[in-house]
Amino acid sequence: MDSNRSSNISNSGCPTALAKANHLQSHSFAPTNSSVVSSSNSSSNSGSSHAAEMLSKMNELRKRDCLCDVDLLVENEVFPAHRIVLASCSDYFCAMFTGGMEESDKSSVEIKGVKADVMSELLNFVYTESVAVCMDNVQDLLPAASLLQLEGVTAACCEFLKSELHPSNVLGVTRFAELHSCHQLQQAAQLFSSRHFEDVIKEEEFWSISCQELLELVEREDLQVDSEESVYQAVMRWVRYDELGRAGDLPDLLSHIRLATLSARFITEVLDQEPLVQERHQCRDLLDAAKRYHLRPDLRHEMTEAKYRPRSGADEYMVLIGGFGKDQAPIDSVELFNPRTGNWSGLTPLPKRYRYVAAAAIKSTIYAIGGFDGRERLNAVSCLDLQDPSPGWRSITPMRHKRGLSAAASYQGRIFVCGGFDGSVRLRSLEVYDPKIDEWRLLQDMATPREGAGLLVADNALFCMGGYDGAHLLSSMERYDPKRGNWSNCEPMRMRRSGSGCAVVADTIYVCGGYGGADGQQPVHLDSVEAYHIRQGQWSSIVCMNIPRCYVGACHLNGKIFVAAGYDGTQLLSSVEAFDPIRNEWLLHDEAASCMIYGRCDTGMCVVRLK
């Protein structure tokens, strides 16, 4: 058709920060390099069939330039179309052709800023309801669809980009989504960055983000990091990448780092020695506030701001495995506790009924270690990946020793197990499992054999405390240095404890309950709790739990210590308690929704992280 007058419609450019498709395909994050997305669900009813047939016929007419009443001029190419079809599919074209605009009676409309091949894809969508999205066209397709208000194409592009998110491109996708007001895509990309923060900061894209983008990332409550040290180190590397241009941003950035949750050693050995921090009084003020948190525990109840709390948004859950249940029998039940809702849910049961089982987790994979099946102590180990599409327990290489009531902890992607009872003697041995090669390896023995001891990781070391040596309940504690490969003795606890729960917050170890008591006193089921301050090397007593608990589990979640299960001297427990170190108080969760399905003790406990 001839055109009497053309209208110019411009579209802004788009960033080029998105990763190329061939790069993404080399990672498991990118399942495909293209997808064909339909904007509507298929239906067998006659109305939908009739509409589909009409649309198909109109598309045939368009391709033959038959009965078309408008030409879209794009990059010197002419695309015949039907106004009524464009208007019914796009609010943009509807306004153009029915809202009294000058284009309403023009036979052609020129659209600038949209490529011809992209317009061809968009028209195919208008007439067929489907669009082929791939990494080669999405950066042009999405802006054009946003401009022309083709919501189905915009949604298809956003879903495609969500499926292609990877640590190497997620920051660029976030910026791209914000530029084109794709809020759901932007939120999905931001959540991905939070969950994969430690991978994102290793990518080249990280160095080029703006200070505002970095602020929005590090201030997120749901940032998933093993330690706040990772956040601090990422910020410092970003600043040093362009120190002259970025050093002035350091005070704002540090104000969004939870400095008080860093260990006292890290504060004194790293931050105190950092010239960029010491040269700026705003940074020194932030550092002094963090030191005050460590030096004045008596004032922590006044420190209620977010900067004094660990980030609570990590997708972490407490898991209890097996144990001693009703009728004095081992059980195969596995339960998961959500600290955000306070509710329990059941997981896939163990392949066997266990008590005296130990547990540890690496990311989303749970490990059930050793135990007692009612006949013998076991060296068997099974694992369950909660993010497997069809989760089920599978056996892995067994330990070198049979162990019941052993202690287990994970550290740097490996699992450490020590002590326990093999059916004949209490054990001193320590062994480590590497899931990459499915192999156990023996390390240096502890000084003392221990059954029913606690094991945790703090200050880049393993701490094993309490237990029973076959003759005495123990108050002693030993520290294992993974770098040097040796054990050393620590200050003993104030009470002898076996079957206690232990966990760490910042640089303080908490040991909860157990069976024991002070030297010279008859052992009892304990409600007492004591704290070991790693920097000072000293123990102190803190407020007691609400209920005595022996053979109890404990873990750190969202800045609090959670204890669950146990035996109070008369009954097995199904309740949960949480200790807030800042408020210095225990809160008992004994309402029905917060209680386990089964009361139990001698259970394995671990924390699993989902992404």
Q: How far apart are CA 195 and CA 557, in angstroms?
A: 16
What are the start-end ranges of the E strands in 425-564?
Answer: 430-434, 439-443, 454-458, 461-465, 477-481, 486-489, 496-498, 501-505, 508-512, 515-517, 524-525, 529-533, 538-542, 553-557, 560-564
- The pLDDT of residue 3 is 37
Q: Is 67 in the same domain as 162?
A: yes
Neighbour-count burial of 156, counting CB atoms closer than 10 A to its CB (0-12 exposed, 13-18 middle, 19+ buried): buried
Q: How far apart are CA 125 and CA 138, in angstroms?
A: 14
The mean of the pLDDT values for the chain is 88
Q: Is 471 in the same domain as 339?
A: yes
Residue 7 Ramachandran class (φ > 0 left, ψ -120 to 50 alpha, else beta): beta
Q: How far apart are CA 274 and CA 287, in angstroms?
A: 11
Q: How many Cα atoms within 13 Å fall on the side-chain side of residue 560? A: 21
- The pLDDT of residue 166 is 95
Q: How far apart are CA 314 and CA 285, in angstroms?
A: 28
Q: Is 294 in the same domain as 385?
A: no
Q: What is the CATH number of the domain that holds 281?
A: 1.25.40.420
Q: Is 510 in the same domain as 374?
A: yes
Which residue is it, tokens 């671990």? 606
Could you tell me which of 529, 549, 550 has the C-alpha nearest to residue 540?
Answer: 529
The reported pTM is 0.71
> Has residue 122 got a pLDDT over 60?
yes
The CA-atom distances, in angstroms, between 20 and each of 16, 27, 132, 200 are 10, 12, 17, 17
Q: Is 105 in the same domain as 16?
A: yes
Q: Which two tokens stand for residue 131?
A: 């669009």
Domain boundary among 162, 182, 202: 182
> Has residue 296 got a pLDDT over 60?
yes
Number of domains in the chain: 3
Selection from 36-45, 324-333, 566-575, 593-602 with the highest mean pLDDT: 566-575
| Cβ neighbours, 10 Å, residue 352 | 17
Q: Is 302 in the same domain as 340?
A: no
The CA-atom distances, in angstroms, between 306 and each of 77, 96, 137, 258, 349 are 58, 50, 43, 8, 38
How does pLDDT run across 341-376, given as a tens digit for each residue? 889 999 999 998 889 999 999 989 999 999 998 899
Q: Is 384 in the same domain as 249?
A: no
Residues 402-409: what's their mean pLDDT?
A: 97
Report which of residues 441 and 299 the model is more confident about: 441
Q: Is 154 in the same domain as 275?
A: no
> Has residue 106 got a pLDDT over 90?
no
Q: How far apart are CA 287 and CA 272, in angstroms?
A: 8
